[in-house]
Chains A and B, each alone.
Chain A
Amino acid sequence: MAMKISTISRISLVLLAVLGLSACTNVEPWVKPYERDRLADPIMALDGDPVSSSYLKHVYESREGARGGEGAAGGGCGCN
């Protein structure tokens, strides 16, 4: 388990380093807020029905040996 925790730590450090470097550069958002109407469409929601998606996760994880990493990640478009 220590090795797995260490793996997570390394991934977290890389992630933080990337974010830190990104903060030092002038990256301009290349999709402007007024260009996000399609992403704001309800058909583009990553988790439009949370009560349903959490139930289906339950079904899959009851029938399979794998778990996690699947389904909604959410966020992004700032438009719900």
Chain B
Amino acid sequence: MLRRISATLLLLSLSAGALAAVLPEDRADVLYHLYDGGGVTIDGPSVLVRKQVGKSLSFVGNHYLDYVSSASIDVVTTASPYTEEREQWSLGMDYLRGNTTMSLNYVSSVESDYDASTWALSVKQDFFGQLTTVALSYGHGENVVGRSDDETFSRDMLAQQYGVSITQILTKNLITALNFETVTEEGYLNNPYRTVRYRDAEGYSYEQEVYPNTRTSNALGIRAKYFLPYRAAIEGEYRYFTDTWDIVGHTVSLGYTHPWKNWIFTGKVRLHDQTGASFFSDLFPRSEATNFRGRDKELSDMSTTTVQLKASYTFLDDPVGWQGFLKRGSISASLDYLTADYREFRDLTSGAPVGEEPFYSLEANVVQIFISFWY
């Protein structure tokens, strides 16, 4: 389930790294992540190292692992629980010249049945005494979809991402950002394992999903962060999403950050609501009822709510540098409590009559613990 989304995310994450007209700070992060909910457990490490070389070059590398153990609602109703691993490497370079930063990134993600390679390029320019930053980005991802039970199965998928972002300082207390992003995908967009169900004489049966071979999405996000009269910050964000599969989404979030001594506490609430894809159905009236058929619950009419609590503790803060090397160190922990409510996708484990099963919902905890050093 994570496969195609992961590939797309490679593009999106690369587009978001717009920076000011100074190179990013040298830092290293070691993170442990855990997702636990809906019968799925995913955990693993992520290590990021960034280092400036000379006055105008900065290099960044990231190694990320997902260990997946899945007995999700899809798996328990149509397949067998499984475990798998995803490994992701990325390397990037930022080149600063005047008020322009050019960035080049490469990401490789490998699973037993999905390979993704992504290149991304972005150019960022500061204007008006660095009050305004405009960034343009392009990403190109080539993906190969396989099946773990069929070595001969191989399908291609090409993803391209176009992004424009404008960051604007409005007052000495307020910074805002506008992001526009288009993603186009062409090729095999199905999950090769997933099925749809349809009515038959026995109640219902399953058959293979069939997705369109193209998808184009547009997302427009606006964000603002305000420094409160006492030392604290409040942040709001809204994102409008639409795509050629007829999904329309609205996402809002509100966050508050409060420092206290060596601590920084953050609380955040995020709400997401979307319509379903035009070809989604929980129960088709018969076999091959429509040209395109899908029963991926993430493509159903649904909403999610996330509440985040995060704390960071700075245990080292020395501008000269401890041992002449480490300038700052912090340790952070966060918990995100996520609920998802599906308004078309039904829970087939309930045993209710066909087509009258209750709608599915899930709860998940997302834990992150990471240590960061600046040098």
Which residues of chain A have a CB within 8 Å of any CB of chain B?
A: 1, 4-5, 7-8, 11-12, 15, 19, 22, 27-33, 35-36, 38-39, 41-44, 46-47, 49-52, 54-80
Whole-angstrom distance between the Cβ of A61 and the nearest chain B Cβ: 5
Residue B110 lies at the interface, judged by CB distance under 8 Å to chain A: no
Q: Are A73 and B16 in contact (CB under 8 A)?
A: yes
Interface 1/0 per residue, B201-229 and A, CB below 8 Å: 00000000000001011111101010100
Bound CA–CA A52/B264 (angstroms): 15
Residues of A within 8 A of B135 (CB): 73-75
Q: Are B277 and A65 in contact (CB under 8 A)?
A: yes
Whole-angstrom distance between the Cβ of B113 and the nearest chain A Cβ: 16
Residue of B nearest to A16 (CB): B134
Q: Are A64 and B249 in contact (CB under 8 A)?
A: yes
Would you list which residues of chain B between 224 and 263 have a CB under 8 Å from chain A?
225, 227, 231-233, 237, 239-241, 243-244, 247, 249, 251, 257, 259
Q: Are A67 and B274 in contact (CB under 8 A)?
A: no
Q: Are A42 and B8 in contact (CB under 8 A)?
A: no
Q: Which of B25, B167, B241, B336 contacts A67 (CB 8 A)?
A: B241
- Asked if A19 meets B175 with Cβ closer than 8 Å, knowing A57-B9, A61-B8, the reply is no
Bound CA–CA A15/B46 (angstroms): 37
Q: Which of A36, A58, A64 contacts B274 (CB 8 A)?
A: A64
Q: Which of A22, A31, A55, A75 contacts B167 (CB 8 A)?
A: A75
- Asked if A66 meets B332 with Cβ closer than 8 Å, knowing A35-B172, A44-B227, the reply is no
Would you list which residues of chain B between 5 and 61 have a CB under 8 Å from chain A?
5-6, 8-9, 12-13, 15-22, 24-25, 29, 31, 33, 35, 46, 48
Residues of B within 8 A of A41 (CB): 227, 231, 233
Residues of A within 8 A of B24 (CB): 80
Q: Which of B33, B237, B274 contacts A66 (CB 8 A)?
A: B274
Q: Which of B25, B175, B182, B241 contacts A46 (CB 8 A)?
A: B175
Give the interface size bracket for B toward A: 35 or more
Q: Which of B35, B62, B182, B364 contacts A51 (CB 8 A)?
A: B62
Q: Which of A4, A7, A66 contacts B249 (CB 8 A)?
A: A66
Residue of A nearest to B340 (CB): A63
Which 3 A-B residue pairs are closest in the complex by CB-CB distance? A69-B219, A29-B129, A73-B177
Q: Are B133 and A76 in contact (CB under 8 A)?
A: yes
Q: Are B338 and A51 in contact (CB under 8 A)?
A: no
Bound CA–CA A68/B160 (angstroms): 12
Residues of A within 8 A of B64 (CB): 55
Q: Which of A11, A27, A42, A70 contacts B264 (CB 8 A)?
A: A42
Residue B287 lies at the interface, judged by CB distance under 8 Å to chain A: no
- Asked if A77 meets B20 with Cβ closer than 8 Å, knowing A61-B5, A65-B277, the reply is yes
Q: Which of B130, B298, B332, B336 contacts A77 (CB 8 A)?
A: B130
Residue B1 lies at the interface, judged by CB distance under 8 Å to chain A: yes
Bound CA–CA A64/B134 (angstroms): 28
Whole-angstrom distance between the Cβ of A54 and the nearest chain B Cβ: 5
Residues of B within 8 A of A70 (CB): 179, 219, 221, 237, 239, 251
Q: Are A31 and B8 in contact (CB under 8 A)?
A: no
Other 12 A-B pairs with CB < 8 A, given A4-B216, A12-B164: A31-B169, A52-B332, A58-B6, A65-B276, A65-B299, A66-B274, A72-B177, A73-B167, A73-B177, A76-B132, A78-B22, A78-B130
Q: Are A67 and B18 in contact (CB under 8 A)?
A: no
- Asked if A57 meets B20 with Cβ closer than 8 Å, knowing A49-B332, A73-B179, A75-B135, the reply is no
